[in-house]
Amino acid sequence: MRWTTILATLMIATLCWASPAPAASSDDDIPSAAQSGQVTLPDTWRAVRQGEAGFIAGQPASRGVLIQSEGETWRAARNGKLAWYGGLALVGVTLAIGAFYVIRGKIMLEGGPSGTSILRFTKLERVGHWLTAGSFLVLGVTGLNMLFGRWLLEPIIGKTLFSWLTWAGKWLHNIGGFFFIAGMVLIFVLWARDNLWDRYDWGWIKDGGGLLKKGVHPPAAKFNFGQKTQFWMVIVVGTLVASTGLNLLFPFTLGDIHLMQVMQLVHAGLAVVMVLFILGHIYIGTIGMEGPTSAVTTGYVDREWARQHHSVWVAEEEGKTAKPAE
């Protein structure tokens, strides 16, 4: 009987020792996710990957986002459609300009130069032109490198040199933007009035600006319709490019990271549009036509060139300097 009692006591003690422990009562005893009803580790990382914000004491909710998933969408759009279609447009316009030059040739001054000059642009006007044009050339080259350089330039010069050039180009891009803004303000003040629509513009459009046929010289004031289009493109599109660029230069000034991603796409897309327009402007001002280049270097152009391309303006200028009859 005595041994039976001892054996029963040991069995009861063993069963009690093996039974489930009560809920944790100390801080060191942490229950499992299944026992507490909390999400599991895979659920947590899934939420992080989907961009759900966590909690950071004393910080905006947006800073609690560990992985900003929309960044991948932005990167795919920038390196995909934007780069692809932008590249096609640049190649297409360049080929079109080349084809026009082969077919039409350089637009020569009919009858040859007169030998006398007329002041086309003052020194201040030339400063405004080159402040805008020079800074845009820097912005265009460095910006195109940032958009296309990894595929076009890096395989040729190598990663190390490409990284140094891109780093230096980024600094030039940031600084050059302020010079471009200053140039836009100056040319707007100087030329906005002369670039308003006038009664000669429709005739210029109908005659194709005299670019398609020899001997055709539609009348124009100081600026023809093509130049006016170029001017307002620079002012309007340039303002949008500059404003989006400033927001990228000073992050979160106008919005959060999502808005910055949109602005970067707008900035790059509109900048490509500006480059397309400027390609035509550079062409017609250099190899495409005889006579206009000196307007932005010395300020003077041949009087016969001015009569053929800006006859209304020449008449106005000659009227200002004509001596009264005796």
DSSP result, 261-287? HHHHHHHHHHHHHHHHHHHHHHHHHTT
Query: Helices 123-152 and 257-285 sit at what angle, rounded to 10 degrees?
Result: 120
Q: Provide mean pLDDT across the span 239-253.
A: 92
Q: Are 209 and 189 in contact (CB under 8 A)?
A: no
pLDDT at 102: 96
pLDDT at 257: 82
Q: Provide mean pLDDT across the span 7-23.
A: 51
Q: Are 117 and 302 in contact (CB under 8 A)?
A: yes
Confidence of residue 6 (pLDDT cuts 50, 70, 90): low
Q: Between the CA of residue 268 and those of 139, 196, 262, 272, what are the distances in Å?
A: 11, 28, 10, 6
Question: pLDDT (tens digit, 9 = 90+) per residue, 24-55?
Answer: 444 455 554 444 555 567 777 777 766 677 77
Q: Are 145 and 153 in contact (CB under 8 A)?
A: yes
89-319 maps to which CATH number? 1.20.950.20
Q: Provide mean pLDDT across the span 133-161.
A: 96
Residue ranges of the alpha helices (H) in the chain? 2-18, 33-36, 41-49, 70-77, 83-104, 123-152, 154-157, 159-191, 201-206, 225-249, 257-285, 303-309, 311-321
Distance CA 253, CA 233 (A): 26
pLDDT at 246: 94
Q: List CB contacts of 63: < 8 A, sequence separation 6 or more.
A: 56
Q: CA 253: distance to chain centroid?
A: 18
pLDDT at 34: 46
Kindly tell me if the per-residue pLDDT of 5 is higher than 70.
no
pLDDT at 221: 96
pLDDT at 322: 61
Instruction: Please give the share of the chain, as a percent, with pLDDT higher than 90.
Output: 68
Q: List CB contacts of 20: < 8 A, sequence separation 6 or more.
A: none
Query: With b meaning 16 or more CB within 10 Å and e meaning fewer, what string describes 111-127?
Result: eeeeeebbebbeeebbe
Kindly tell me if the per-residue pLDDT of 255 is higher than 70.
yes
Kindly tell me if the per-residue pLDDT of 19 is higher than 80.
no
Question: pLDDT (tens digit, 9 = 90+) per residue, 156-187?
Answer: 999 999 999 999 999 999 999 999 999 999 99
pLDDT at 91: 97
pLDDT at 44: 74
Q: Whole-number mean pLDDT of the chain? A: 87
Distance CA 189, CA 237 (A): 17
**H/E element holding 119?**
strand 117-119
pLDDT at 11: 55
Token pair 């017609």 is at which residue?
284
Kindly tell me if the per-residue pLDDT of 69 is higher than 70.
yes
Q: Where are the domains of the chain?
A: 89-319
pLDDT at 33: 46
**Residue among 313, 314, 26 nearest 194 (CA):** 313
pLDDT top residue among 165 and 63: 165
- Residues found in the chain: 326
Q: Provide mean pLDDT across the span 185-212.
A: 95
pLDDT at 48: 72
Instruction: Please give the share of the chain, as a percent, with pLDDT higher than 70.
Output: 83
Question: pLDDT (tens digit, 9 = 90+) per residue, 215-236?
Answer: 899 999 999 999 999 999 999 9
Question: pLDDT (tens digit, 9 = 90+) per residue, 91-129?
Answer: 999 999 999 999 999 999 998 899 999 999 999 999 999
Q: CA 308: distance to chain centroid?
A: 36
Q: List CB contacts of 142: < 8 A, sequence separation 6 or more.
A: 169, 170, 172, 173, 176
Min mean pLDDT across 28-37, 277-286, 311-320 is at 28-37
